Amino acid sequence: MTWQFITNDIGPKERRLIRSHVMTGKNAGRPRPSHRKKRDAATQQITSQHAVTHKQDRMVPQRRTQDLQRSNLFDRLVCNDLAFAEIPQQSTKSIELLRQWLSLIDRRLYPPEFCSRLDFMDYVWLQYVFYDEGYMHGVLAIKASFRNYLETAKASPDALEHLSRAYKLTQRRLAGPEAISDKAIAGVTILAIYQLVHGNVDIGLVHFDGLCRMVGMRGGLAKLMEHNRALAQKPWRIDLEFALQSGLPMRFGGAEVPLPATKTMNPRFISPTYTKLCDYGIDIELVCMLSDTTAFTNSLNTINELSRLDPLDFSEQAFQLIHRLIDFASLQGKRPIHPLEDLLQVTLLAIMTTSLPNYTTDQLHYELLANHMKRAIMRYVATTDRDSKLLLWAIFVGRVSILHHDQDDWIGRILLQASQQAQIHEWAQIQRILSRYCWIHTLHDTVAMRIWEKFNEKRAEEERRLRVPFRAQISGVV
């Protein structure tokens, strides 16, 4: 059989004949069944499935919107950078957890009362989420551990699944040429943070030990700070946290941390109120730290919407002060012999913990610091030359930070005794005393006023109870 090729020399009639011949086959003469009904049924089914899916997808944002409105976070999510962020492909649940974490990170880590809004697109710890899968799973493990907006950490199955993947991917990077890269440091850092928020100090210390070696191989914390400031602040923050929780000495020495910023603190100026403390034999270095910490809190008290601090500047100043205080006397080692020195140091640490970036609202993990503070207050109360107003300041700082309502029995007795000795009867007088020392009015005034009212009510109730037997005695005599 010879092949015949169709050329352009043929006309319309020939083409029609060719098409007719091609269509002649085994189906020639058979009726063509209609597929219109099937297509309509399939289209209707797809449309209904799409409607159901769209309704289910719409329910998640609606519930999320309601939750955000209840938590005053809705205004931070609408039309911000996160609305346009492309999250790596994950399950719907993981993406929802990740978006929740992103929506809370700036408010949790950098208080909006004092810090300007975090630029998400330039924040390296957010960028790692988008191009480092191991770090992203570490973040998801942390977020999946919390319920009720990061209040109670639990090792849920979802958290453990993400943690396992974070370990696997981070280990793979540590075994390769990027073992001390920024991504590797971020991956190990997030694993240490996971253990911290779960209270697993021993496991967290293993990660932190490796993290310190990685930072050392990069030239130290100060060198890393010059290269990537936001990245270097996290290992520094973890170092402070371990020192506060377990009393360990600082791994990063004072020479490795940045010099104190002079924009809001003037360490050379010391108030006459503080110079008098030297008459009690207080170490001048501690008096300087008291002055610097007061300058820092005073700067926070004067911040308005136009003068908010850069988030990294805020963290750096807080870290510097806490680092100096811990270097003065570690919580696990030898404590200051002088009762007032002991009280001043733990009180300053307590007020500064309220400015630390924190993943949770639970301060119970500072149990070691709380025990030291209770012991320091008792030691100072036993002295004969105590300053009642300074004691009141220390009690209020402790109660709004690391001491809790389950200790109100002994706190109330000492507070009422000190207020009577100082002839303090009104909240306005308490405010003036607190303003003389380190105090953050925006964060603590409301809570402190409730505490004062609570103890005053107890005092009034006890006075009424004592007057009843006295009146009964008088009536018996009459």
DSSP secondary structure of 367-431:
HHHHHHHHHHHHHHHTSSS--HHHHHHHHHHHHHHT--GGGHHHHHHHHHHHHHHTT--SHHHHH
Give the other-Cβ count within 10 Å of 167's Cβ. 16
Q: How many CB atoms lie within 10 A of CB 295?
A: 19
Cβ atoms of 380 and 340 closer than 8 Å? yes
Measured CA to CA, the distance from residue 74 to residue 64 in angstroms comes to 9
Looking at the DSSP assignment, which residues form a beta bridge with residue 146? 153
**pTM listed for this prediction:** 0.76
Asked if 211 contacts 189 with a C-beta cutoff of 8 angstroms, the reply is yes
Nearest to 317, CA basis, from 274, 267, 372: 267
Question: What's the pLDDT score for residue 337?
Answer: 92
Are residues 77 and 83 in contact, defined by beta-carbon separation less than 8 angstroms?
yes
Q: Are the C-beta atoms of residues 133 and 88 closer than 8 Å to each other?
A: yes
Q: What does the block give as tokens for 319?
A: 């870290």
What is d(CA 105, CA 55) in angstroms, rounded to the nearest whole number? 29
Type of residue found at 180: I
Q: What local confidence, expressed as pLDDT, does residue 82 receive? A: 39
Q: Is 308 left (phi over 0), alpha (psi -120 to 50) or beta?
A: beta
Per residue of the chain (478 residues), give pLDDT as tens: 555 555 556 677 777 777 776 666 656 666 666 655 555 555 555 555 555 444 444 443 444 444 434 444 333 333 344 333 444 445 556 666 666 666 666 566 788 889 888 776 677 888 888 788 899 899 888 878 876 544 566 778 888 999 999 999 999 999 999 999 999 999 999 999 999 888 888 999 999 999 999 999 999 999 999 999 999 999 999 999 999 988 988 999 877 787 654 444 444 567 777 878 888 889 999 999 999 999 999 999 999 888 999 999 999 999 999 999 999 999 988 899 999 999 999 999 999 998 886 655 554 478 999 999 999 999 999 998 889 999 999 999 999 999 988 899 999 999 999 999 999 989 999 999 999 999 999 999 999 999 999 998 888 887 777 776 545 555 554 4
Alpha carbon distance 310, 208 (integer Å): 27
Helix, coil or strand: residue 307: coil
pLDDT at 181: 94
Decide: 303 and 309 in contact? Cβ < 8 Å.
yes
Residue 205 CB neighbour total at 10 angstroms: 18
**Beta carbons within 8 Å of 138's beta carbon, 6+ residues apart:** 162, 163, 166, 170, 187, 190, 191, 193, 194
Positive or negative torsion for Cα 246, 394, 234, 316: negative
Q: What is the C-alpha separation between 134 and 112, in angstroms, rounded?
A: 29
Listed in sequence order, the residues at least 6 apart from 28 whose beta carbon sits closer than 8 Å to its beta carbon are none
Helix (H/G/I), strand (E/B), else coil: 147 = strand
Q: Which two tokens stand for residue 87?
A: 């999250």
Q: Closest Cα to residue 137, out of 124, 128, 148?
A: 128
Residue 435's closest CA among 318, 287, 294? 294
DSSP states along 304-348 = -TTSPBPHHHHHHHHHHHHHHHHHHS-SSSPPPSSHHHHHHHHHH
Structure tokens at 217: 């191989």
Spatial CA neighbour of 394 closest among 426, 436, 441, 355: 436
Using DSSP's 3-state secondary structure scheme, residue 51 falls into helix
Instruction: Give the phi and the psi of residue 148 in degrees, each rounded to 5.
Output: 55, 45
